């Protein structure tokens, strides 16, 4: 369970990350604030590319930043969009690799919580390491 202060901090950082999004094609700004098990918050924004396949979502940006610093366990993620949009399928799968029970909080541009789910609720039959055995 997140304390009210930590929840507010995650929401604020997700909104700040959203403001840094590079999205000249979709114009759909996304920001993410990912709480590592070490207590550190990793921010991310979407970064689009003229070659659309080269685009990376905010959620994956935050995970890549954390993993590149040695963190592989996460407890919460706040995603900020204009309308409280949910992570795409690729992001759900990417997150599942590290945190199948991740708490995901979806907020709109005003910082209002629109939904709150676990990753297992958003990806009930996720593919993980156990599937490779």
Q: Note whether 39 and 10 are within 8 A (CB).
A: no
Residue with tokens 């949009």: 85
Active site residues: 59
Buried b (16+ CB within 10 A) or exposed e, 99-109: beebbbbbbee
CA dist 63 to 67, 79, 83, 103, Å?
A: 6, 13, 22, 14
109 neighbors 18 (Cβ within 8 angstroms) = yes
CA dist 35 and 6 (Å) reads 9
Distance CA 96, CA 7 (A): 21
């Amino acid at each position: 369970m997140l304390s009210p202060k930590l929840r507010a901090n995650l929401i604020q950082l997700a909104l700040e990350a959203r403001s840094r999004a590079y999205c000249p094609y979709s114009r759909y700004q996304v920001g993410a604030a990912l709480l590592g098990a070490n207590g550190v918050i990793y921010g991310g924004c979407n970064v689009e590319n003229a070659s659309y396949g080269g685009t990376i979502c905010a959620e994956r940006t935050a995970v890549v930043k954390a993993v590149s610093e040695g963190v592989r366990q996460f407890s919460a993620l706040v995603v900020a969009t204009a309308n409280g949009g949910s992570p795409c399928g690729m992001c759900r799968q990417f997150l599942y690799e590290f945190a199948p029970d991740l708490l995901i909080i979806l907020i709109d541009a005003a910082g209002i919580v629109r939904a709150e789910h676990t990753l297992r609720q958003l990806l009930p039959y996720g593919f993980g390491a156990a599937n490779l055995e």
